[in-house]
């Protein structure tokens, strides 16, 4: 909690305490703490002098501002038609198998969250996934498994 408080003070210094600073602050909290806890949202609200309902209302509008705990590595698989046509389903199956979770879930060790996303803007190179800010294009199920195991080798045993 003290950590969150300090983080928010630090972010206010960096972005300012105007309402226009809200999104950059929330984005940075998510980057550091992987999600927006109720506590963090209330603290941000106090710092910007807006109601916490406003902060929650804004945060919950955006896909990337998570209000529940997410893994350290957030996998986003593009689910738009071009990627579906290029084999997105097989990719998802392979990811579910190697991570031992279903779409939308987070691994128990909080290392990976598996999510679907609308068009990621790589339709000519589908299927595509993002892991945090890194893009993987034309990613076959085999390559995806390699990527996961390179990040966390313990998943090798799930194969």
Partner 1 sequence: MNKKELKRVDIIFDCANCEPLEIVKKALAMKPDEIIDQIISSGLKGRGGAGFPTGLKWKLAKEEKSDTKYVICNADEGEPGTFKDREILDVVPSKVLVGMCICAYAIGAKEGFVYLRNEYNFLLKDLIPLIEKFNKNIQKLGLDFHIKVFSGSGAYICGEESALFESMEGKRGEPRNKPPYPTKVGYNGKPTVINNVETLVYCTMIVRIGVEPFKKLGTNDSRGSKVFSVSGDTSKAGIYELELGVGVDEFVNEFGNGDTKAVQVGGASGHCVPRKDFKNKIIGFEGIPTGGSMMIFNSSRSMYNVLKDYLEFFEEESCGQCTPCRVGTQQLLKGIEAVKHGEKPSSYLNQLLKLTETMRVASKCGLGQSVHNSFSSIVKNFREEMIY
Residue choice 27, 37, 107, 111 for contact with partner 1 (CB under 8 A): 27
Q: Does 42 bind partner 1 (CB under 8 A)?
A: no
Residue choice 4, 8, 11, 26 for contact with partner 1 (CB under 8 A): 26
CB of 43 to partner 1, least distance (A): 16
User: Among residue numbers 61 through 120, which ones bind partner 1 (CB under 8 A)?
Assistant: 61-65, 76, 80-82, 84-85, 117-120
Sorted by sequence, the CB contacts under 8 Å of residue 9 that are 6+ apart come out as: 47
Element (H, E) at 8: helix 2-15
User: Would you say 148 and 155 are in contact if contact means Cβ atoms under 8 Å apart?
Assistant: yes
CA distance 157 to 42: 42
Q: Does 122 bind partner 1 (CB under 8 A)?
A: yes
Q: Does 16 bind partner 1 (CB under 8 A)?
A: no
CB of 24 to partner 1, least distance (A): 7
- Provide the token pair at 36: 């927006």
Positive or negative: CA dihedral 123, 127, 130, 135: negative
Length of the chain, in residues = 159
Which residues contact partner 1 (rule: CB under 8 A)?
18-24, 26-27, 48, 57-58, 61-65, 76, 80-82, 84-85, 117-126, 130, 133-135
């Amino acid at each position: 909690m003290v950590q969150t408080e300090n983080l928010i003070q630090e972010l206010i210094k960096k972005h300012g305490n105007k309402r226009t600073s809200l999104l950059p602050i929330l984005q940075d909290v998510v980057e550091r703490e992987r999600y927006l806890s109720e506590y963090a949202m209330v603290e941000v609200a106090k710092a910007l002098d807006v109601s916490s309902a406003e902060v929650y209302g804004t945060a919950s509008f955006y896909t990337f501002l998570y209000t529940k705990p997410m893994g350290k590595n957030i996998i986003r698989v593009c689910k738009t038609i071009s990627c579906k046509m290029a084999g997105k389903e097989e990719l998802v199956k392979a990811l579910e198998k190697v991570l031992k979770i279903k779409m939308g879930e987070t691994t128990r060790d909080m290392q990976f969250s598996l999510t679907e996303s609308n068009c990621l803007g790589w339709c000519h190179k589908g299927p595509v996934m993002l892991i945090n800010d890194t893009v993987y294009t034309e990613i076959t199920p085999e390559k995806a498994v390699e990527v996961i195991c390179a990040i966390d080798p313990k998943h090798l045993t799930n194969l």
